[in-house]
Structure 1
Amino acid sequence: MESKNLTINESRILRELIKNSRQNISEISRNLNLSRNTVALIIKKLENSVIESYTVNIKQNTESNYIIAIVKSLDGIKKELLTEYFELTNGKYMVISSDSNFLNNLNYDEIHIARHRERGSENFNIDLYCDFCGGKIVSVPKTYEINRKKYYFCCDTCKSTFIKRQNALEKY
């Protein structure tokens, strides 16, 4: 994904959707302290410019291995055996399967076995903004979770000041 210049609220809403795309507008609105209309408008804008699709990640058996093969063609490979595949720039394909039957009659250039698969959002270039000062976070964010809500900070000072204010509010 190419880098896009997102506003602070666009970035915050996109982070919420990456965490859980099943949240409805009211939940996102409540989590970010934004109006429902604002959230709805921003989501519509993001769907037109940034969000390609909403997807389901199926829980995988952590004991299973993945077979990764480099093949010249997808011809003859049963689609139901594929976990996913990538078309490489050299015209070949990298195919991934967790089904050992996948190897039957497979003509491959290379084959590898992987023990662990983790999907993350590292391929997204999303600007993060400090939930205290609003500044852009340029290094690893400091985080704080309260009431099942995660906050992101640009530095330890913003994080500690935020926590002090939260503690002061709780006393009243």
Structure 2
Amino acid sequence: MSHDETETDNQQPRRLRLLFSVAAIVLALDVATKIIAVAALEDREPVRLLGGAVYLALYRNPGAAFSMATGMTWLLTIVAITVVVVIIRLSRNLRSLPWALGLGLVLGGALGNLIDRLFRAPGPMRGHVVDFVSLFAPDGSVWPVFNVADPAIVGGAAFLVVLTFLGYDPDGQRHSKKENADNEGKR
């Protein structure tokens, strides 16, 4: 076994630890803040913070952001399960710390919202996601009401897009734009 192979083998557990640690932190924060939000905000007027830039108001969302896909909770549940499975499968070949971070954010957020869809009312595969942070308006009319999982998913996905654009692959390889263009020209 060469020195390079040994280094890669030793780095794999570190990358997996990062991925699953980030996912666990996001999941724990999401679940804890949802429990607090339900306990503190149920049947209460929105709480205004930062001069009205942020409001805390409890919403149970049967759809996705901006109330899209309302009534399609079962489909959103299947999408979340698929995302979780794909990330876990992708983790087996993960060789990049930045990708581990991005995937950990997406995994933790997807699990947080998936737990709501599976275990909250009105029932399994139809559960409504607890959202409680609103920007600039208490009713979500300016920006969708969200929870901790949502910016983790969006931020993690955006980070992965940037990594891809910059030529970083999950396997740790880096490809320049010129290399990609040369390879496309050879096909």
Which TM-score bucket, shorter chain as reference?
under 0.3
Q: More relative contact order in 1 or in 2 (CA 8 Å, sep 6+)?
A: 2
TM-score, structure 1 as length reference: 0.25
Q: Which is strand-richer, 1 or 2?
A: 1
Larger Rg: 1
State the TM-score, normalizing by the size of structure 2: 0.24
